[in-house]
Structure 1
Amino acid sequence: MKSRYDFLGARLKLFIWQWRGVWITTPCITAFVILLRLTGILQLWEWSTYDFYIRNRPLPTQDRRIAIIGIDEADIHRIGQPILPDATYAKLLEKLKAMEPRAIGLDIYRDLPVPPGHQELVRVFQNTPNLVGIQKVVEDDKQEGVAPPPALKEKGQVGANDMIVDADGRVRRGLFFLDNQDGERIHSFAIHLALHYLKKENIKAEKVEGTNNWRIGNQIFIPFEENDGGYVKTDAGGYQLLINYRGPNGYFEIVSLTDILEDQVPPDWGRDRIILIGKVGESFNDLFYTPYSSSWLNLPQPMTGVEVQANFISQIISATLNERSLIGTWSEPQEWLWIFIWSGVGATVTWNWRNQTKQFLSLALFKYLGLEIFILFGSTYIGLIYGWWIPVIPPLLALVGACFVITGYVAGTASGIRKTFGRYLSQEIVSNLLESKEGLKIGGKRQTITVLASDLRGFTALSEQLSSEDVVEIINIYLQDILKIITYYGGNIDKLLGDGIMVLFGAPIVREDDAERAVACALAMQLEMESINKKIKVLGLPALEMGIGINTGDAVVGNIGSEEHTEYTAIGWEVNLAFRIETYAIGNQILISNSTKEAIGISKLRIDSTKEIKPKGMSNPINIYEVGGIGGKYNLFLPREEEILLLLEKPIPIFYLIVEGKQISNTVFKGNLIKLSQRGAEIEMNKLASTDSIPLPYSNLQLNLLKPDNQSFMSEHIYGKILKVEEASKTFYIRFTFKPQSVIQQLDSLYQSSLKK
């Protein structure tokens, strides 16, 4: 039983680890989005989305129970004065009363008399029990309150027509009632009229026992709270409701004042209806922006105040009679859970996708993300159709945020993998292996590449005199700077051979300027040696010199090996030739093949010398070229060195041996060091030596200095390369490739003495 529990525990741990990105990302993104939402920064976006849904949902049938008598500029022009006299309203109300409407709403401020006909209007007010007037209750810095008509106030037939305008200038909420500055509760214009209409249905309003909610019939109207829907910390004073607009501008039937006064409508036009009287002309400035006012393509069109009231009245009546739902909202914990779900969806899908394809950021992943966003918008849109304002922007931000966080994590992981591999392979090869369909296949293809081979001169001899720790430290100092240069010039480091480096240009991707970049890279490497030697000098160690050989040609490039072990490399004679050329290079020298010279063009290169060599394995000699610089966009040049070879006052006897590869011959030759420079020396062979013993040019040798008076004493080993041979005089010139510290001091002293003479 214990082993079973251990097994299940191990499986659970594995499952948690495998989905770690989801477990961490989902709650973190959820918490971040919730905190961001509480700042209110998402509020405007959420309102805009809500408005978009309102504008684009199916419209219900026109509510024939409500009609509007709109007073416009034509009516004012006909009557002849900007403010209609009381007599006109009295006449209008008498005509409406004859039509037997259920309620009449006068959405016109009438706190002061406007003669003529004031007494006549007061009498109509007193004799019309289903008439409701208005007053403005809320006073602020921008507007003052407006008193109600006194005659209607006495009879309790006045409602507040105050509008609640959101921060973006839209009206999305309406009032059941509110309190004035004296603490008196004032019911709204809309609720008065709705209750007048419903009175005939034997429906009335009452407070729900034990709560602060109000019920009309069987419908409970739950008041708006400060964080409902897309709102954050909004003033929820009074008894507010979200307005479930029935339609845009002009959705309710509107007839002109003139039509009523001149009997242009049927006698029963207003029977059993709510008749609203209000100003609809633009010059009256009774206009408000609503969710229907916004548009991505057109300028926002405001809605008249009387139409806003009509929409709110229609909502109350329709909800009470179960024809249309109110706009409901979720509690905050439900909204947080909704955000959490979408954060989890984004994290889960993206996390799962990381193992589905070699290319993580593929078109298919974005298709899935697009599908998730479509589902989010579709579900919240359908929710609004059925009367629920479900948050859109916070879950959208959570979805996309989780997707990007997981993407960033995966990219960071991939970057870590690339960085790890990049310590062994170049970034270009890593990209080829990880991203190309052909990248991991065993095999190769023939292509033209340029191979750069470099090696430190005399480093093997130097390392024999140092501790392993010092050797590693020198190599690391050298490689740290040199590898940066190789990477900068787009070279792919194929091999690190101790103090030697093999670099490919043109693999895996061939470019037109591969040869040019290789030469520029070599020049930059040689120029960098001065800085490297300054760092090494601090350690009290001798300066390093590097030789470089470059060749361009066809080679087989690819993954060479087997399933057990594979190496991305290049093989072929042209690769070997680059190493052969490198062996001819002395310190601070760059040698290139004829094919490399032709690939670049002679006009771009500074050729300091030409050599004819016969590399091992070749039947015919070839020319190689010493490069001192390259022009064009790289513009890199090595300083020209003038060598001063001085005749020594007394020749120094020496022993020397020929070095072939890593092997030193057993034949010891005698000679004398007769001339000396800071970097080389001229050696005179023993006069009795046969012509067969004269060394070949470009041979390497090991020599030891002897004391003229005690030839049994030998100096430490010195290494050099023969650059020039004079058979007639039996002399040859060598360039030192390694001098021990003790020999350096001795030769420098001799050189300075000869220089003074």
Structure 2
Amino acid sequence: MWANLRKQIWQWRAVFLAAPSVAFVLILLRACGLLQPLEWAALDEFFRLRSLEAVDTRVVIVEINESDIRNGKWPMSDGELARLLEILKQQQPRAIGLDIYRDLPVEPGHQELEKVFKTTPNLIGIQKMIGDRSGFAVNPPKTLSELGQVSANDLVIDVDGKIRRSVLTVKDNNSLNNSLGAELALTYLAAQEITLQPIPAAQSQRRKFKLGKAVLVRFEANDGGYVGADAGGTQILANFRSLRQGFRKVSITDVLEGRQPKDLLRDRIVLIGVTAESSGDIFYTPYSSEFLGQNVKPFTGVEIHADVASQLLSAALEGRPQIKVWSEPVEGLWIFGCAFVGAILSWTQRYWKVTRQKVVKGVTVSLPFTSASLVLAGGAVVVGSYAAFLSGWWIPVVPGVLALLLSAGAITAYIARNTNMMRQAFGRYLTDEVVANLLETPKGLKLGGERRKVTLLISRLQGFSAISERLSPEKAVEIANLYLEAMIDVITQYQGTINDFMGDRIFVIFGAPIQREDDATRAVACALAMQLGMDSINTKLSSMSLPSLKMGIGIHTGEVLAGNIGSQRRAKYTVMGSNVTLAYRIESYTVGEQVLVSKDTFKDAGSILRVDGQMQVKPPGMQEPITIYDIGGVGGKFNLCLPQKCEEILITLVQEIPLQFTILEGEHSTEEVFQGSLVKLATTSAELRSPQPVQLFNNLLIHLLPGGEQANRLGDIYAKVVSVSAHQQIEVGVRFTAIPPEAAAFLAYIRQSGEGEVGSRMR
């Protein structure tokens, strides 16, 4: 038995470790108040999602709005206020709430107002008991205070500036008063013989009150998402009823001029107060903003008091539920339960390879069942919490969802840690995506392949071989590693799969083993980012007193055979086919800092590419010429651009410079040496005159012969043929791909001097 128990504990070890740890941390964070803002935000969203209720016609607001203020009705004299109250009394409301301070006379008409106070037993005045931010309270009207017709005007505001609690009573050092909304509701209900009655309870239980059909539970400092809140007086969690849809309102101007509807106020609660936002008597509630804090809408104090009265009337007469909370132990068990659910879902499915497949724009996307189950579980927590909220319960949804996700994340991290060592072992020799294909795909280790459409990127450092011959092997490797490190970072950023390093070339695949919708566009963006990254590489090389490098990139999209190719003893994930060869051919046409793409890639990438030029070429083995495009930028979400290329001006030399050249085939030169001369010159290009025909895009190895012993010290210049024209003699346009420092200095001297008598000068 014990052996079996130990076995079960070991099998579920990660769950027993992760779930309690996550739950304990969340409970600790919650106790420190760090989750309080998130729980308030979730509660606010629940309020906003709730459907509107019918307008409560039992409450009417006589408002002082912006129009009344502009028409001189505010501030209101005591005489005008007395006349307003007399008019209201004629419709026999059950209760009148005067949400206007009258601790000091406002002449004329103070005596008339005092008389109205004494003859209106259902009139409730206000006082500010706790004091505002400056610490000053406001006294009630003296006459109403002597008659016991005074209520508290204080509201409880959370630290984020919103009201989420309704005040029933306010207590200071000298007295205890009902709030204005509560006093008006109790006055209204007294006509139906409904009173507020304390419910006897054990000392350990919270205080409760019975009001008609409702049981009101007093708010405590740590209820719901609150931590250490001020629970002074008697408060309940607000279950707002009528704020969003509003109350029936009539302006004081309409009342004073007799334009209010007949019997609008009969047997109703009437509140008199300022609703103009310019008065500054504004507050914020969960309804004050939409999701992410947009469309802020404030409410006035008289509307808040009216809603408190509406809440209490609906609860007492109709049994409308009030917001209740679980006890702290029950909430703790809820958080532990959610943590265990998340951990169990993740742990039980760690070897479950069942996936849900969905076709998106022709591409099959596999959704891990673990993720789907977590989304469903998280959705169930949110939906269940919202359903409970509609029934009057505030369940801590944020800690529940966090417990679910964090415990699953902890399990995932534990599993990832166990596989990370294997990834590290393979990762030094294979790309991350190939490793993932081997480890996570059921057939990842089997030999064989599949035909799929991919985009191939071939980059090559032009003239690197010539530069490396002039350096020590250690320095050449240092330059290569500097270049490769920067390029690998860029390729990884754009989710390319590095298939191979071949000398000064990098072979990158987009679309295998992971296929994405934007493979062609990402490949072009990656190429542009690689070209832009050459600036920082050349800056470092310059600081090392080394010559700068240039890179050409060719890109082609087509169908290939992709998979694990080789034998049982040694295999490699790669791609094969004629389209691979064509990608290499396209790269061979690059000159300098170019990105050349095939028509297939251009078609897949779309209209967001900036084309700097295009040309027709006929690669060896092709029956027909193909179009390739010189790309200078990509728009959309990538938004990358290379500097615009300025056309160089070739300077015609007064005296031609003799030279010799050979045609390179691959990395090697042919044995035949041809004679020619340099006739025009620019910074990175030149024009040669040669009796020997050459082909467009031939790579040439040029040796200048200015005369004298200087010829042997200039070194070999590498160039690519970019134009060929035949008149009386063959004129060849070339672009330099690698120039030794001595030859570069010599050519710069020629350009600056603009003279052709170089041979005699060099002698």
Q: TM-score, normalised by structure 1?
A: 0.58
Residues 256 and 510 of structure 1: CA distance in aligned 2, closer, same or farther (over 3 Å): closer
The yes-or-no answer on 1:433 pairing with 2:438 is yes
Distance 1:366 1:416 in 2: 24
Deviation at 1:61, TM superposition (A): 1.2
User: Contact conserved, 1:358 with 1:434, CA < 8 A, in 2?
Assistant: no
Deviation at 1:390, TM superposition (A): 1.2
User: Contact conserved, 1:445 with 1:558, CA < 8 A, in 2?
Assistant: no
Distance 1:336 1:106 in 2: 45
Structure 1 unpaired stretches of 5+: 447-480, 490-508, 520-553, 571-600, 610-630, 636-757
Secondary structure of 1:171 counterpart:
coil
The yes-or-no answer on 1:309 pairing with 2:305 is yes
Deviation at 1:173, TM superposition (A): 1.1
Deviation at 1:215, TM superposition (A): 2.6
Deviation at 1:114, TM superposition (A): 0.9
Distance 2:180 2:447 in 1: 83
Other-structure match for 2:232: 237
2:7 is aligned, of 14, 21, 28, to 14
Query: 1:393 is aligned with what amino acid?
Result: V
1:281 is aligned, of 276, 279, 282, to 276
1:61 is aligned, of 49, 54, 65, to 54
Alignment of 1:485-564 (within 5 A): 511=499, 513-514=501-502, 558=565, 560=567
Post-superposition Cα deviations, 1:523-571, rounded to whole Å, max 9, x if no partner, equal: xxxxxxxxxxxxxxxxxxxxxxxxxxxxxxx9x965745xxxx76579x
User: Contact conserved, 2:165 with 2:237, CA < 8 A, in 1?
Assistant: yes
User: Contact conserved, 1:67 with 1:275, CA < 8 A, in 2?
Assistant: yes
Query: 1:216 is aligned with what amino acid?
Result: L
Deviation at 1:163, TM superposition (A): 1.1
Query: 1:26 is aligned with what amino acid?
Result: A
User: Contact conserved, 1:243 with 1:311, CA < 8 A, in 2?
Assistant: no
Post-superposition Cα deviations, 1:19-70, rounded to whole Å, max 9, x if no partner, equal: 2222111111111111112222221222122111111201121111111101
Residues 158 and 518 of structure 1: CA distance in aligned 2, closer, same or farther (over 3 Å): closer
Distance 1:427 1:259 in 2: 76
Deviation at 1:308, TM superposition (A): 0.5
User: Contact conserved, 1:359 with 1:435, CA < 8 A, in 2?
Assistant: no
Secondary structure of 1:67 counterpart:
strand
Other-structure match for 1:647: none
Distance 2:506 2:114 in 1: 102
Deviation at 1:133, TM superposition (A): 0.6
User: Contact conserved, 1:76 with 1:84, CA < 8 A, in 2?
Assistant: no
Other-structure match for 1:400: 405
Other-structure match for 1:41: 34
Distance 2:83 2:44 in 1: 40
Secondary structure of 1:170 counterpart:
coil
Comparing 415-424 with 165-174, greater Cα deviation is found at: 415-424
Alignment of 1:135-534 (within 5 A): 135-139=127-131, 141-180=133-172, 182-210=173-201, 212-249=207-244, 251-296=246-291, 298-357=294-353, 363-364=367-368, 365-419=370-424, 430-441=435-446, 511=499, 513-514=501-502
User: Contact conserved, 1:443 with 1:560, CA < 8 A, in 2?
Assistant: no
Distance 1:198 1:140 in 2: 31
Deviation at 1:99, TM superposition (A): 1.1
Residues 367 and 189 of structure 1: CA distance in aligned 2, closer, same or farther (over 3 Å): same
Q: Percent identity?
A: 42
Query: 1:240 is aligned with what amino acid?
Result: Q
Other-structure match for 1:750: none
User: Contact conserved, 2:446 with 2:564, CA < 8 A, in 1?
Assistant: no
Deviation at 1:321, TM superposition (A): 2.0
Distance 2:107 2:572 in 1: 104
Other-structure match for 2:742: none
Distance 1:170 1:602 in 2: 78
Distance 1:73 1:444 in 2: 77
Deviation at 1:156, TM superposition (A): 0.9
Other-structure match for 2:75: 83
| RMSD over aligned Cα atoms | 4.4
Distance 1:518 1:206 in 2: 83
Distance 2:449 2:14 in 1: 38
Distance 1:127 1:321 in 2: 29
Distance 1:510 1:326 in 2: 62
User: Contact conserved, 1:444 with 1:559, CA < 8 A, in 2?
Assistant: no
Deviation at 1:263, TM superposition (A): 2.1
User: Contact conserved, 2:56 with 2:247, CA < 8 A, in 1?
Assistant: yes
Deviation at 1:155, TM superposition (A): 1.1
Secondary structure of 1:240 counterpart:
strand
Distance 2:134 2:668 in 1: 82
Residues 102 and 427 of structure 1: CA distance in aligned 2, closer, same or farther (over 3 Å): closer
User: Contact conserved, 1:358 with 1:435, CA < 8 A, in 2?
Assistant: no
Query: 2:306 is aligned with what amino acid?
Result: A
Distance 1:433 1:511 in 2: 15
Post-superposition Cα deviations, 1:466-518, rounded to whole Å, max 9, x if no partner, equal: xxxxxxxxxxxxxxx9xxx9xx99xxxxxxxxxxxxxxxxxxx8846446579
The yes-or-no answer on 1:70 pairing with 2:63 is yes
Distance 2:208 2:167 in 1: 13
Distance 1:445 1:275 in 2: 79
Secondary structure of 2:97 counterpart:
strand
Distance 1:63 1:117 in 2: 34
Distance 1:314 1:429 in 2: 65
Query: 1:380 is aligned with what amino acid?
Result: S
Query: 1:317 is aligned with what amino acid?
Result: L
The yes-or-no answer on 1:30 pairing with 2:23 is yes
Alignment of 1:531-610 (within 5 A): 558=565, 560=567, 568=571
Post-superposition Cα deviations, 1:686-740, rounded to whole Å, max 9, x if no partner, equal: xxxxxxxxxxxxxxxxxxxxxxxxxxxxxxxxxxxxxxxxxxxxxxxxxxxxxxx
Distance 1:172 1:514 in 2: 67
Aligned length: 497
Distance 2:664 2:386 in 1: 71
Post-superposition Cα deviations, 1:421-453, rounded to whole Å, max 9, x if no partner, equal: 77999988754431344323356899xxxxxxx
Secondary structure of 2:164 counterpart:
strand
Other-structure match for 2:713: none
Alignment of 1:110-125 (within 5 A): 110-125=102-117
Residues 569 and 298 of structure 1: CA distance in aligned 2, closer, same or farther (over 3 Å): closer
Query: 1:17 is aligned with what amino acid?
Result: W
Query: 2:417 is aligned with what amino acid?
Result: G
Other-structure match for 1:654: none
